[in-house]
Every structure is written in structure tokens, then in C-alpha cells.
Amino acid sequence: MDRIKWEEYFMAQSHLLALRSTCERLSVGATIVKDNRIIAGGYNGSVSGEVHCIDEGCLLEDDHCIRTIHAEMNALLQCAKQGVSTDGATIYVTHFPCLNCTKSIIQSGIDTIYYAEDYHNHTYALELLKQAGIEYKKISFDQEHVAQYLLNK
């Protein structure tokens, strides 16, 4: 049997991370990769030590949960905390990044975004990515196909 492709492998990691999400509205995972090595991962959830949305519900303001840190930000902050450079890295995200995460990704030096699902793809985010010369691409992710690698071992 063939080995799993890199894109499938890293996107599968993002989907696994999304399983840790504590958001009731949407589970998102993000994996930051450099030189085909995972340097960080994140999922959307509460600030460390804070209650979780799955326990007490979302804390909504203007129809947005203000308790939740997005998966992309958690992954970027993990790199910052550990002193790991994201310059020239790639991020794999289960869903297209929101506008604020897009701006943070641009500022971090990440040069490629792969995502599995569209999610309110903000037109200004798309414009910023184009201006910054950042490649972004929707890639298909088939959980059953990836599961076959596990079942056939």
C-alpha cells in the first residue's frame, strides 16, 4: 500500500486537533508545518484556566463567541511561546481562516494556507492574501480514505 500523502497527513492532523475543540458552534484544528515537520498545532477553545463553551455555553457578543481563541491563533501562539519561527511555514486548517486569523497568519510569515472547508471566506481576507502573495488552496479531505491507511496496517 502507498504511503499517505503529505497534504493528507497534515490535514488529518488538523482534523484530529479539531476533536479537542471546546466550541459548540464549530470545531476547528490547525497544524503549522515547516520542512515537512509539524512545529505546532492548535484547536479552538477557551483561554487556559477559563471555563469551556461545552460546559457553560458560548459567551456571545455580536453573534461571536468572545471566549474562544481560534485554532490558528492557538498554533501561532504556541510557536511564539516556544520561540519557533513560522517564517516560510505552511498552515493546514480544517476551515478557511477568519479575517483576524488571516491577518495574523500574514504577519507571522507563513506563506501557504491549505484548508479543507470554506467558512465565511471574507473578501478582505482574500484580498489581503493576494496582496501578500500568500498561496491559499482548498484541498479535499476524505476521512474514510485516510482511515484506510490505519485499517490496512
Report the C-alpha gap between 56 and 82 in whole angstroms: 31
7 catalytic per annotation: no
Cα→Cα distances 67→49, 61, 71, Å: 12, 10, 13
Query: Residue ranges of the alpha helices (H) in 19-142?
Result: 53-56, 71-82, 99-108, 123-132
C-alpha distances out from residue 55 to 1, 21, 49, Å: 43, 12, 13
Select which of 7, 24, 61, 72 is catalytic: 72
Name the residues annotated as catalytic. 72
